[in-house]
């Protein structure tokens, strides 16, 4: 890399918001650029660059980035976290539902885990879960965050019953 003249640091190759390096027409995708070292980010960045080469528009907002930790129990979510909003002094509301209180949790004998929704002015800006299958249930949570949905819009849509994902509905309905 040193011989190419591409700028880099201990965090990775330096890129702009279009994933371009300091050298025109050279892009850095995935772990090498230090932007959220996750496989699904690398896939998304590759698609953005492909599209950007054709259309010259590949900027990406990572605010709705879904992420997961494959621990026992799993932890997954997307969007803002409470500590981030507190640090910025942004008012927010939390709506939370315990998985053990769901019909699916009861039928599977689940005693731990929860779904937590974070709203700013009734708009969903964070969704977090810990429990069985959290990564599966919230794999599309970035879409929910990116759509700027209100609590009313979410609750007026259908959820499959009984599922753990229904906890999203329950968190709002029971708040």
171 close to 95: Cβ distance less than 8 angstroms:
yes
Rounded to whole angstroms, the Cα distance separating 79 from 90 reads: 14
Cβ count within 10 A of residue 96: 15
DSSP 107-159: HTT--S-EEEEEEETTEEEEEEEEETTHHHHTTTHHHHHHTT-BHHHHHTS--
- CA angle centred on 30, ends 25 and 33, rounded to 5°: 65
Rounded to whole angstroms, the Cα distance separating 41 from 22 reads: 21
Q: Which of 161, 167, 168, 169 is catalytic?
A: 161
Catalytic annotation present for 161: yes
149 close to 124: Cβ distance less than 8 angstroms:
yes
Rounded to whole angstroms, the Cα distance separating 122 from 155 reads: 12
Instruction: Give the distance from CA 94 to its chain's centroid.
Output: 17
Provide the annotated active-site residues. 161
């Amino acid at each position: 890399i040193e011989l190419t003249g591409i700028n880099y640091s201990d965090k990775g190759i330096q890129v702009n918001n279009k994933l371009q390096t300091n050298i025109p027409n050279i892009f850095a995708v995935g772990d090498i650029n230090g932007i959220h070292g996750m496989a699904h980010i690398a896939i998304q960045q590759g698609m953005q660059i492909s599209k950007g080469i054709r259309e010259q528009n590949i900027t990406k907002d990572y605010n709705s980035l879904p992420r997961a930790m494959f621990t026992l129990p799993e932890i997954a979510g997307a969007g803002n976290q409470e500590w981030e909003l507190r640090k910025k002094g942004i008012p927010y509301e939390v709506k939370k539902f315990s998985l053990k209180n769901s019909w699916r949790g009861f039928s599977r004998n689940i005693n731990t885990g929860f779904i937590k929704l974070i709203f700013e002015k009734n708009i969903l800006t964070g969704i977090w879960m810990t429990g069985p299958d959290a990564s599966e249930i919230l794999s599309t949570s970035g879409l929910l965050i990116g759509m700027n949905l209100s609590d009313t819009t979410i609750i007026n849509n259908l959820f499959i019953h009984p599922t753990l994902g229904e906890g999203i509905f329950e968190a709002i309905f029971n708040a």
